[in-house]
Structure 1
Amino acid sequence: MAKLNITLPDATAEALRASSDGNVSAEINRAVLQRLADKELRRIAAHEQQNPSKYRDTDLARIGMGMPL
């Protein structure tokens, strides 16, 4: 497991300590994972906008159920 040293404004650090239930590392880990997931979802959304599906949602549902189009 990596150990990082970060710098935060005093007010942010105090709020983090107060809201973290004593586990600042876990709180920061959750926040970083959420941020990474948000970035990935934005990347996927941008890709889908630039490359629209040739199938409608109903078609995809049929394919998923093994039904012919």
Structure 2
Amino acid sequence: MGILLFGVVKETAGCAVLDCPAYIKDVATLKRWLYEQYPSLQQLSSLMIAVNRSYASDDQEFTDRDEIAVIPPVSGG
């Protein structure tokens, strides 16, 4: 399953899409994996995960058919 990356997360990973390991089935596990792979992401004030274009809580599960996106903090003016 591909995970879409945006903003500073995309820059940190050096790509727009990451392959998600098969054992990851929920948002909390995905976040832990991302922090292990890219420790600098822990310095962000927040890291949101969207499942099928809706923000997801840490306990939300997903399948390989879902669209998963990692969204860093955003600001506007």
> TM-score scaled to structure 2, two decimals?
0.20
Larger radius of gyration: 1
Structure with greater proportional helix content:
1
Which structure exhibits the higher relative contact order, with contacts defined as CA atoms closer than 8 Å and separated by 6 or more residues?
2
> TM-score scaled to structure 1, two decimals?
0.21
